[in-house]
Amino acid sequence: MPFSHTKVVGPAGRFGARYGMGVRRKVTQIEVKQRGKHRCPRCRALTRMERLAFGIWRCPKCGFTFAGGAWVPQTTLGKTMTPEELRLIELEKQKWKEKVKKKKE
Ligand SMILES: [Zn+2]
C-alpha cells in the first residue's frame, strides 16, 4: 500500500489540531486495531469492550469496569509509546478521574 500524505486521520480526526500528526496517525492505527473483540477479565466473554476513557474499559455483558491499556484492553503501556502519547493518556486519565470525583460529590 503506498503511503499517503493526504489527510487520512480517520477516527483520530476528532482530536482536531491539538496534537501532532505523528500522534494522530498512530492513534488511528491503534484505534482501528482496538475495534476487535477482547476477552473480559471477569466473565471471560469475548466481546467488544466499551471504552469509557483512556485506559478505562467496560464489559457490556457483565458491566465490569476495569483499567487496561490506554488503547486496547490489554496493557500496551511500556510497548512503544512516545512521550507525547503518554502525556495524552495521562491527561485523559486525569480528566476521567475528575469526572468520577464530581459525580460522587
Ligand atoms: Zn464481562
Per-residue pLDDT at 65: 83
Distance CA(81)–CA(85), nearest Å, equals 6
Residue ranges and CATH numbers for the domains of the chain are 10-104 (2.20.25.30)
More confident residue, 33 or 38: 38
Alpha helices in the chain (DSSP H): 21-33, 83-104
Residue 11 CB: number of other CB atoms within 10 A? 14
Q: What are phi and psi of 9, to 5 degrees?
A: -100, -20
Residues with CB under 5 A from ligand 1 (ion): 40, 42-43, 59, 61-62, 64
Q: How far is the CA of 47 from the centre of ligand 1 (A)?
A: 8
- pTM of the entire predicted model: 0.39
Q: Which three cell numbers, joined as nine digits, stand for 54?
A: 483512556
Q: How far is the CA of 56 from the centre of ligand 1 (A)?
A: 14
Q: How far is the CA of 62 from the centre of ligand 1 (A)?
A: 4
From 88, 96, 99, select the one nearest 31 (Cα to Cα): 88
Per-residue pLDDT at 87: 77
